[in-house]
Structure 1
Amino acid sequence: MLQLAVVVVVLIAVGAVSLAQSASTFDRVEGRRLTALAEQMAWSPLVRSQLDRPAPAEVLAPLVQRTMTETNVSSVTIADARGKILSASNPTLIGTPLPVTGSAVFDARGWSGYLLVDDSRELVAQTPVLGDAPRNHGEHLGTVMIGIASPSLVQSLIGASSYLLVYLGLASALGVVGSWLLARRIKRKTLGMEPHEIAGLAEHREAMLYGIAEGVVALDLQLRITLVNAVGRELLDLPDACVGKSLSELGIGDRLFDVLAGPGADEDEEASVSRSGENPKATDEIVVHHGRVLVMNRMNVIKDGRRLGSVTTLRDRTELARLERELGSFRSTTDLLRAQAHEFSNQLHIISGLIQIGEHDEVVSYIRTLRSHRESLDLEVTNRVRDTAVAALLMAKSSLAAERKVRLRLSERTALERLAPEDSADVATVVGNLVDNAVDAAAVPGATQGTDAAWVEVEMRQDASIVEIVVRDSGPGVAPELAEEVFTRGFTTKAAQGGERGIGLALTQLVCRRRGGEVAVANTADGAVFTARLSVGHRARHVMENIR
């Protein structure tokens, strides 16, 4: 209906312009013709000779009627110099004053325009009659006025163009058909929704996108951002004017680019989509971006079997990862107690068996051996590691490693003094993650190289402001193609063996970078070597303040 209203308004405007042009043409053409007729009659010797006679009406009446009939005008009027009508096409006007505008006629000047003649609006031309006889040469004898009625609206439309009504009719028909086709196409594109429904849907979408705590990023097939909410911009550090730009233009690369772009629409994916019409099952991906641990879930947008783009949701798990680290310390304690309980149970079984068979001397010797081993282990750890939290962690990891047939040992060059509580927590996090990954790698069946026993060696060195942690293992090492991205992708060492992905190494890198350090991996003849460095003490606080 709105389109039809626009068409009608345009047609009315076109008709009005045509009428205005027709009226202008009528005034110009007819005005010139009437002026010429009036001048011709004013120069007539008959008119000049009768204006000063006592009864000119009888002589001038035939001339007036013949002029009106032959020239197809509406009125012909002849008046004397004082403006009194002497002869007219309407005899009832004789003796009445001539209708004039201004003093042009009485000043012996011609004039043309619209006047009300005999209750009818006419376009008239008034021309003075001047004497040419020697006795009245140049004298104003009277006025000749010839007029034509103003055309009606229908006459103006017909006069505008002989085909104007046909044109307007065709334009109206085309407008109706075009409006119907356009409305039908728009309805199909908007799924049959009315404008107010579309507006409501857009409002609901905005409320949903900006009301949720997760980030949302939508991409088209050219990897241009078509939609992103405020949380998504914050998590990905995108500029405000990022919509419409591609991932490459925004400087997004590496792991983040791979997750957002997805594997692409290969032939197998397109074939599966065309057969089922459904999205393949999406999985969560872990990405470390600018100090944040992000969990991203990407889904393809498919309509009628055709891919339109993708939508990725983002969740910030940085705080959750910190809580997991804190929970990990309690879990380590639980695992330690479980491993020790298992170890003590085996030892008690041995002691009970020796007593039952009467080997009392062997019982005493076995208990002394166990005590000596425990004291030597505790003494080795506490002498080299003065920080109680890290020492306790190593003791717990030693028991857990022994349960998995892996020997955890300290390097002779290990020396770590007592640390501040916040420094101790971060060092323990790095050591725990690196040891866990090393034990996982060394415990893989057949992974040991050159020896029969699997082992993990921990070395910690400290100076005034830096703690360096080196963890070696007897595992297979890290695949060369993963050496650069093992931390950014959030792999554990199990990833090299095709295991599941984790965030242990990613968190290790996050802690090291937050403290102005770094973590790296290298392969040796024995296995993998992870080296982590991080600042402690006053320097660490200065670095963290600069980062903030």
Structure 2
Amino acid sequence: MFIRRRRATLAGEMLILQLAIVVVVLLAVGAISLAQSAATFDRVEGRRVTALAEQLAWNPLLRAQIDRPAPREVLAPLLHSTLNQSGVTSVTVADVRGTIISSTNPTLLDTALPLGDAGVARARGWSGHLVLDGTPEVAAQVPVLDDAPGRNGHHLGTVSIGVAAPTVWQRLVGASSYLLTYLSVASLLGGLGSWLLARRVKRQTLGMEPREIAGLAEHREAMLHGIAEGVIALDQQRRLTMVNDMGRALLDLPEHCVGMSLPALGIHERLYDVLTGAGEARDEIAIHRGRVLVMNRMTIRADGRRLGSVTTLRDRTELAQLERELGSFRSSTELLRAQAHEFANQLHVISGLIQVKEHDEVVRYIRAIRKHRESLDLKLSSGIGDTSVAALLMAKSSLAAERRVELRLSERTALDRLDPLDAADVATVTGNLVDNAIDAASGAADGAWVEVELRQDTSSVEIVVRDSGPGVAPELAREVFTRGFTTKAAQGGERGIGLALTQLVCHRRGGEVTVTNTTDGAMFTARLSIGQQIHETMETPR
């Protein structure tokens, strides 16, 4: 049976590591204390034994008896007196040949005096460490010189005084009477600090171990760079803290963009507002360099503090194009429904007149309908030479009539037959602007109207759509195309991305679309280049 060993936790490893560091620091402090104690002992005791040795070497009795035949009996009391009074370990006197003639240690008599330096034999003083009879000492060796007339300075012998060097334990105890207390308190504080640090680290890592954190980081990287949506994170200073590959592609960010602020990256206006908003955001739309981006922003909080935000971005450009195509089919269906409704109403009128036997009135009613249709066809055909645009406006008139809005064509309208690609874009822009105007005007009182004016020169087509609606609020005039509002936005309603697509088509054609308020309502003006190569701006992400 195999027993699986439990792996140490991050907090436990940090606690053990910190305790090991504390132990090493305490050992280092102890070693330094020992070294300082040894250095202090050597300095103080070295000076003291040197002074004692010099004092003994200048003693008249010692100088008088050192070269006599039997000096030890005379010098022994002097040496023991020095030993007892000074508290040193040994006092030794040697003759000029280096033979010990008197010592407080009788076993050293008639032996050679160990010299700390060769210069001692030549009447030079010395102090330092010396091993005497197996005992390490801090010793001083001073020459004994003759001061008799004619022999002044003659070397008579050597005085050696030493004090035993303390052991390691003695030095540790002598270093400071409070050293052990200090080390104990330091150990306690170090252990407590290590435990608190381990707890704090565990709390900050949410109780996860390093292998778990590493796994999460790997999974996060794989997820962030593997999903088809862009992800961008900002801190409180509105700097990028994280962005995946798709996010960099959608926003055209440089490779080393993390840590840079949004203005430094060229992100302004609508996109900047969505990324840096204070609250949550759901399915916000922004146009950035020809792309339709749908963004969702979530605020990141911890312990009640706002740390930043994370925003996901989806490229809806191709979907917007599909939506535009589907919208055209939906618009066609709606137009056919409106025309069918109009024809049904007319048939009901004719049927009723027949039932009441008003045959002459039936003929007059049919002639009136035909005359109205012929006048509309004549007006459209005379001002608009392109059949696709004329057919679009013809169908839109039925839709407008159903919603009690008069759709009229300006007297200044003049449009020739266009290239099929040019006609498709002109029809798209015209249809979006007319739909938007009908939406705005239908909410007004009786007498609602929408006026369309199309003007053409050699290189461009200008489309002007006026309505009798409430107009566009001044604060929305700049955002109405980037956020996808209709003129109903002035009343607080957001209506998708119809106008945003209109702006994309105009920009792709090298033109623009603007909106202004008139005394009657709103006026949208769009300009498109024709007969030229299209400027492709609705590119797909890299």
> Structure 2 length as normaliser, TM-score?
0.81
Map Cα deviations across residues 415-458 of structure 1 (whole Å, 9 max, x no partner).
333445554443333212111101212223x444xx3xx43322
Alignment equivalent of 1:536, drawn from 527, 530, 541: 530
Distance in 2 of aligned mates of 1:117 and 1:326: 110
CA separation of 1:308 and 1:541: change in aligned 2, threshold 3 A: closer
The CA distance in 1 between the partners of 2:368 and 2:63, in whole Å, is: 158
Deviations 1:164-221 (A, max 9, x none): 111121222222233333433444444334455455545544554444443444456x
CA contact (8 A) 1:522 1:529 kept: yes
Equivalent residue of 1:79, what SS?
Answer: strand
CA distance 1:45–1:466, shift in 2 (3 Å):
same
Are the counterparts in 2 of residues 259 and 285 from structure 1 also a CA contact under 8 Å?
A: yes
- The answer on 1:478 being equivalent to 2:472 is yes
SS in 1 for 2:140: strand
Greater Cα shift, 369-378 or 324-333: 369-378
**Is the partner of 2:400 in helix, strand or coil?**
helix
Q: Offset of 1:108 from its aligned partner?
A: 1.6
Q: How far apart, CA to CA, are the structure 1 residues paired with 2:68 and 2:116?
A: 27
Instruction: Establish whether residue 146 from structure 1 lines up as the match of residue 146 from structure 2.
Output: no
Seen in structure 2, the aligned counterparts of structure 1 residues 208 and 143 have a Cα distance that, compared at 3 Å, is farther
2:130 aligned with 1:115, yes or no? yes
Distance in 1 separating the partners of 2:514 and 2:349: 44
- The verdict on how the C-alpha distance between 1:224 and 1:521 changes in structure 2, with shifts beyond 3 A counting, is closer
Instruction: Identify which range, 287-296 or 118-127, moves more after superposition.
Output: 287-296
Inter-CA distance 481–134: structure 2 relative to 1 (3 Å threshold): closer
RMSD: 3.9
Note the 1:466-505 alignment, pairs <5 A.
466-505=460-499
Kept in 2: contact 1:75–1:146 (CA 8 A): yes
Which sections of structure 2, spanning at least 5 residues, go unmatched? 1-14
Name the aligned partner's letter for residue 458 of structure 2: A
- State the Cα deviation string for residues 92-146 of structure 1 (Å, max 9, x = none): 3334333235421122211122233223332221212222234643222222222
**Alignment of structure 1 residues 132-531 onto 2, 5 Å:** 132-134=147-149, 136-194=151-209, 197-218=212-233, 224-225=238-239, 227-230=241-244, 231-232=246-247, 235=250, 240=256, 243=259, 254-262=269-277, 283-303=282-302, 309-339=308-338, 380-381=379-380, 384-387=383-386, 389-420=388-419, 422-444=421-443, 446-448=444-446, 451=447, 454-531=448-525
Task: Please name the residue that 1:31 is paired with.
Answer: 46
Superposition deviation, residue 65 in structure 1: 3.3
Q: Tell me which amino acid in the other structure corresponds to 2:118.
A: S
* Inter-partner Cα distance in structure 1 for 2:460 and 2:538: 14
Whole-Å Cα distance in 2 between the matches of residues 217 and 338 of structure 1? 45
- Which range is displaced more, 372-381 or 387-396? 372-381
Contact 1:105/1:111, CA 8 A, preserved across alignment: yes
The structure with higher relative contact order (CA 8 Å, sep 6+) is 2
Conserved? CA contact 2:290–2:537, under 8 Å: no
My pick for the range that moved more, 461-470 or 187-196, is 187-196
Q: Secondary structure at the match of 1:537?
A: coil
Structure 1 position 129 matched with structure 2 position 128: no
- Greater alpha carbon shift after TM alignment, 466-475 vs 315-324: 315-324
Tell me, in whole angstroms, the C-alpha distance in 2 between the residues paired with 1:325 and 1:54.
132
The reply to whether residue 52 of structure 1 matches residue 70 of structure 2 is no
SS at match of 2:411: coil
Whole-Å Cα distance in 2 between the matches of residues 543 and 228 of structure 1?
27
Distance 1:539 1:465 in 2: 12
Residue by residue over 1:337-372, the C-alpha shift from the partner in whole angstroms, topping out at 9 and shown as x without a partner, is 555555666677788899999999999998888777
Question: Are the aligned partners of 2:354 and 2:362 in contact in 1 as well (CA < 8 Å)?
Answer: yes
Measure, in 2, the Cα distance between the counterparts of 1:78 and 1:511. 116
The 1:199–1:59 alpha-carbon spacing in structure 2 relative to 1, beyond 3 Å, is: farther
Structure 1 residue 468 displacement after superposition: 0.7
Q: Is the 8 A contact 2:63 2:156 kept in 1?
A: yes
Cα distance between partner residues in 2 of 1:304 and 1:420: 63
State the one-letter code of the partner of 1:319.
E
8 Å contact 1:438–1:493 — kept in the other structure?
A: yes
